[in-house]
Structure 1
Amino acid sequence: MHGGLDSEKISCIEAILYSEDLNEATKQVASIGDSEMLYVLAANYNWDNGFSIPRAIITNNNCDMSTGLMMFYLSDGIRLLVDKESVEQSGLDEWSKFITEVYSKLEMDVFKRSSISYYPELTKVQLFKLKKSNPNIPGFFLDGIEGNDIEIPMI
């Protein structure tokens, strides 16, 4: 394991995760200048709280590819890879728009590179099916991104 956030950064993440004021929390996310903090925030985010915070994470210039890929998978982006049409017809507009945006940012290499790793938890069967149905998908979507494993405190 590598790194680890100091207590001040963890307190900042806690404040965002448990904030009653979504606008204020979203502003705080926008001001984070540390890729590792965004990664830990993303890993601890409760998706029942909607897409404002996730959107703020992926639009932050310090959001790296690993965090982007994690957000893609945590928001059930795999459904986009399995069956794009079912996502488009899901009626879940905000979700569908979010995963489509994250996918294209990843594909177009918009996120910054960092030393943080992320490996999607895919079974061999899922990998096989995804490779078969998406032969042109960039490899990192399936194989993950190499780098340092960041310790993710559960907040």
Structure 2
Amino acid sequence: MENDKINQIETILYNEDLNEATKQVASIEDSEMLYVLAANYNWDNGFSIPRAIIANDNCDMSTGLMIFYLSDGIRLLEDKDSFEQSKLDEWIEFVKGIFSILKANDFKKSSISYYPELTKVQLFKLKKSNPSIPEFFLNGIEGKDIEIPVI
């Protein structure tokens, strides 16, 4: 990835003005930049930036799936009842929202790959407890691998 794109991502990640940062995310036209931004996001900073990434028309299935797993969405797949009993309402809403978008296949397609890091035991349990889940949730999305610089 070019240095100017990395610098733009770094500016977003370290911008203290959340409104300005979300505006910058909305202006990104490169799906690879959104992917790298999502991969480097510090989840301690809340859901504003991930929501802006998802809302961007250039956000693709791979980035959406990565955000689902980075936001600990696997807990929804593992045990929906326990997930819904959490007191973290904003997190529950976020995970359910991105799950719905992914399941409806509402993100654009791209050539970027993403494979969730699931063990064979996790895969077995998830398939057993979610027999109708689309395969990409478990097996990922094929495409070209993007080198993710640490920002």
Q: TM-score, normalised by structure 1?
A: 0.96
Per-residue deviation, 1:87 = 1.7
Of the two structures, which has the highest relative contact order with CA contacts closer than 8 Å and spacing of 6 or more? Answer: 1
Give the letter for the 1:129 counterpart: K
CA distance in 1, matches of 2:106, 2:47: 20
Q: Point out where structure 1 has 5 or more consecutive residues left out of the alignment.
A: none
For residues 67-146 of structure 1, the aligned pairs below 5 Å read 67-146=63-142
Q: For the aligned residues, what is the CA RMSD?
A: 0.5
Cα displacement string for residues 96-127 of structure 1 (whole angstroms, at most 9, x for unaligned residues): 11111110100001000000000000000000
Q: TM-score, normalised by structure 2?
A: 0.99
Paired residue total: 151
Per-residue deviation, 1:132 = 0.2
Cα displacement string for residues 20-76 of structure 1 (whole angstroms, at most 9, x for unaligned residues): 101100110011111000000000000000000000001111000000000000000
| Residue 58 of structure 1: aligned partner | 54
Q: Point out where structure 2 has 5 or more consecutive residues left out of the alignment.
A: none
CA distance in 2, matches of 1:59, 1:93: 20
CA distance in 1, matches of 2:132, 2:41: 30
Runs of 4+ in 1 over 2 A off after TM superposition: none
Q: State the identity as a percent.
A: 77
| Residue 37 of structure 1: aligned partner | 33
Per-residue deviation, 1:89 = 1.4
CA distance in 2, matches of 1:34, 1:107: 23
